[in-house]
Chains A and B, each alone.
Chain A
Amino acid sequence: MDTNVLFIFILAVFVGFEVISKVPSMLHTPLMSGTNAIHGIILFGGILVLADAATPLARVLGFVAVVFGSANVFGGFMVTDRMLQMFKKKKK
């Protein structure tokens, strides 16, 4: 394993803590939903392993991984957007 990757990992841990430290509780649900969509990047992992799949079993499992990952990423962003479009200030 490249130690550079480990370095990036450690930095990302701190950035993750830092960016949400001041989030108001009214945004906790959309924030959870939005970060949920971001880990939908696992779709790419699914694509990468399915692209190299050589056995029927690997194809089936890889296919399921792609479906799951795709539902996670698309559904996640859409549902977050749907929630957030409702946050409006009072119209005067």
Chain B
Amino acid sequence: MSSTIALIFIGVAVLFIIGIKFLSSPKTARYGNLVAAFGMLVALLALHKTTGDYVWSQGWNLNYTLIAIGTVIGLIIGAIGAYSVKMTAMPQMVAMFNGLGGGAAALVASLEFLRRAHGLEDVAASITVPMLFATLIGSLSFSGSIIAYLKLEGKFEKPHTFPGQNFLNGLILLVILGLGGWLTFNATGGNAVTAFIVMFSLALFFGIAMVMPIGGADMPVVISLLNSFTGLAVAADGFAINNLAMVVAGTLVGSSGTLLTLLMCKAMNRPVTNVLFGAFGSGGGGSQAGADDLAGKSVKPIQADEAALLLAYAQRVVVVPGYGMAVAQAQHQVRELSDELGKRGVEVQFAIHPVAGRMPGHMNVLLAEANVPYDQLYEMEAINPSMDRVDVCLVIGANDVVNPAAREEKSSPIYGMPIIEADHAKTVIVMKRSMAKGFAGIENHLFYKDNTRMLFGDAKASLNALIAAVKAG
């Protein structure tokens, strides 16, 4: 590699690092994204083959026509996806783009593997291992992301488990690793191609088997993990085809994604292994015991008019949004209600649990879409100490993240998870469609507290009723 090219790639690496750095502060986040995109453009213009030839100065042929057509098709798919998706469906979109990236990483590694397998030279293990790694991780990320996408779309959200599942998955993984080990030292010839195809297929299947048992509530963690997987697969591809920009970009995504995954698990107070292998909420004695405690207790419903009075005459209101708000597309109504209350002199704050919704920061994105200023949003740790000075806590479609069982019920599967302490407010109004359980599949003790009132109905309709009543009052 000539020194000019090396300098350009150092510049690209710096642009990616600055981009990610800027992305982690609200003031600079948008520039960060643009900086990273600019780095991508520079890397594209400076793209060189392993042999050192400049990619764009080769003679134009069928392959280049295909490259041009393929890139344009991808651009169109990406643009349509990016600009047509509703803000509430953002997590699915990220899962989908991530899956496509993983699929591309697996295909690139496969092509390189097959090309070398048909060659006469032996392939060094230092090339084979990254190729196999990229194939395995990339295809796993591809199929896993598609399952995550479907789960978020509401298809088979509940965990799918059967006895011996972890054992079977372990067995498949062992076979994959065995094949990989064998291929490392036998990377050429027909047998290698067959073994490779079997490994590829098993890896695709493993991605499905890995994500199927995980409940919809844990999808943020899964998507973040698969995102970092794809990053690592891309880095491994970079090793195999000797492209430094891919190594740096892929590794940055891999390591920052891993940290992000761990941060998310920490917010739920569960080790990452528990998320992946625990098949959360799939039964167990704990939740049963919780239900018995609640036998004989009943919930107290409230009508919109009365709820509006409570809100309008409160001094301080805290809104806790959850996935139900996203499903009902009710973020604009939430902002309108907040504005109406603000006009009456009520102090309105939003309490955001780190894992509310289907993605970390999901609620922030939705409320930002509805023009709620971000200095009105508070993180869980910031708001919890003052929850007992809140007049009305309005819970909109949130469930597990306000369940006091996490604090009180040692046998509960969510015991120990940090929650927003909604029950400390003087009055809690829970807006909910029905008494259905949250994703953890357990009863919510909050609903049965003496200071809790249930406002049943679709969140959007209920909010409209509240807004009308507050305006009239």
Nearest CB in chain A: distance from B66 CB, A: 5
* B376 contacts partner chain A, Cβ-Cβ < 8 Å: yes
Instruction: Collect the chain B residues with CB atoms within 8 Å of residue A38's CB.
Output: 16, 19-20, 36, 40, 231, 249, 252-253
Instruction: Collect the chain B residues with CB atoms within 8 Å of residue A74's CB.
Output: 74-75, 78-79, 82
Q: How far is the CA of A70 from the CA of B80 in the complex (A)?
A: 13
Nearest CB in chain A: distance from B244 CB, A: 7
Q: How far is the CA of A30 from the CA of B70 in the complex (A)?
A: 27
Given A20-B20, A27-B361, A38-B40, check contact A66 B67 (CB 8 Å).
yes
* B111 contacts partner chain A, Cβ-Cβ < 8 Å: yes
Q: Contact string, A3-41, partner B, CB cutoff 8 A, digits 1/0?
A: 001001100111111011111111111111111111111
B253 touching A30 by the CB < 8 A rule?
no
B24 touching A20 by the CB < 8 A rule?
yes
B17 touching A26 by the CB < 8 A rule?
no
A23 touching B24 by the CB < 8 A rule?
yes
* B302 contacts partner chain A, Cβ-Cβ < 8 Å: no
Nearest CB in chain B: distance from A41 CB, A: 4
B49 touching A51 by the CB < 8 A rule?
yes
* B362 contacts partner chain A, Cβ-Cβ < 8 Å: yes
Q: B1-42: which have CB < 8 Å to A?
A: 13, 16-17, 19-21, 23-26, 29-30, 32-34, 36-37, 40
A53 touching B49 by the CB < 8 A rule?
no
Instruction: Collect the chain A residues with CB atoms within 8 Å of residue B93's CB.
Output: 75, 79
A35 touching B237 by the CB < 8 A rule?
no
Nearest CB in chain A: distance from B238 CB, A: 7
Given A48-B55, A89-B375, check contact A37 B36 (CB 8 Å).
yes
Contact of B83 among A8, A31, A82 (CB under 8 A): A82
> Looking at B20, B43, B64, B362, which has the most chain A CB atoms within 10 Å of its CB?
B20
A36 touching B17 by the CB < 8 A rule?
no
* B333 contacts partner chain A, Cβ-Cβ < 8 Å: no
Nearest CB in chain B: distance from A88 CB, A: 7
A75 touching B77 by the CB < 8 A rule?
yes
Contact of A15 among B26, B252, B377 (CB under 8 A): B252
Instruction: Collect the chain A residues with CB atoms within 8 Å of residue B461's CB.
Output: none
Q: How far is the CA of A50 from the CA of B55 in the complex (A)?
A: 11
Instruction: Collect the chain A residues with CB atoms within 8 Å of residue B103's CB.
Output: 64-65, 68
A26 touching B361 by the CB < 8 A rule?
yes
B250 touching A65 by the CB < 8 A rule?
no
* B146 contacts partner chain A, Cβ-Cβ < 8 Å: no
Given A12-B252, A45-B237, check contact A63 B36 (CB 8 Å).
no
Nearest B residue to A45 by beta-carbon distance? B108
Given A29-B91, A43-B104, check contact A8 B97 (CB 8 Å).
no
Q: Contact string, B65-98, partner A, CB cutoff 8 A, digits 1/0?
A: 0110111111101110111010100110110011
Q: A43-84: which have CB < 8 Å to B?
A: 43-54, 57-59, 61-84
* B105 contacts partner chain A, Cβ-Cβ < 8 Å: yes
Contact of A86 among B227, B369, B377 (CB under 8 A): B369
Given A16-B256, A43-B74, A90-B375, check contact A52 B63 (CB 8 Å).
yes
Instruction: Collect the chain B residues with CB atoms within 8 Å of residue A28's CB.
Output: 260, 263-264, 354, 359-361
Count of inter-chain pairs, beta carbons less than 8 A: 390
Q: DSSP majority for the A interface?
A: helix
Nearest CB in chain A: distance from B462 CB, A: 25
B252 touching A35 by the CB < 8 A rule?
yes
Q: How far is the CA of A80 from the CA of B37 in the complex (A)?
A: 11
Nearest CB in chain A: distance from B126 CB, A: 4
B34 touching A81 by the CB < 8 A rule?
yes
* B246 contacts partner chain A, Cβ-Cβ < 8 Å: yes
Nearest A residue to B68 by beta-carbon distance? A66
Nearest A residue to B12 by beta-carbon distance? A41
Q: How far is the CA of A77 from the CA of B69 in the complex (A)?
A: 20
A42 touching B78 by the CB < 8 A rule?
no
A75 touching B81 by the CB < 8 A rule?
yes
B47 touching A48 by the CB < 8 A rule?
yes
B70 touching A63 by the CB < 8 A rule?
yes
A48 touching B63 by the CB < 8 A rule?
no
B71 touching A70 by the CB < 8 A rule?
yes
Given A28-B359, A69-B104, check contact A43 B24 (CB 8 Å).
no
Q: How far is the CA of A76 from the CA of B317 in the complex (A)?
A: 37
Nearest A residue to B377 by beta-carbon distance? A26
Q: How far is the CA of A55 from the CA of B62 in the complex (A)?
A: 12
Instruction: Collect the chain A residues with CB atoms within 8 Å of residue B250's CB.
Output: 39, 41-42
Given contacts A28-B263, A38-B253, A49-B108, 8 further A-B contacts (CB under 8 A): A9-B247, A26-B26, A30-B23, A35-B231, A59-B66, A76-B97, A83-B87, A84-B33
**What residues of chain B have their CB less than 8 Å away from a CB belonging to chain A?**
13, 16-17, 19-21, 23-26, 29-30, 32-34, 36-37, 40, 43-44, 47, 49-50, 55, 58, 62-64, 66-67, 69-75, 77-79, 81-83, 85, 87, 90-91, 93-94, 97-98, 100-101, 103-105, 107-108, 110-112, 114-115, 124, 126-127, 130, 223-224, 227, 230-231, 233-235, 237-239, 241-260, 263-264, 267, 352, 354, 359-362, 364-365, 368-369, 371, 373-377, 379
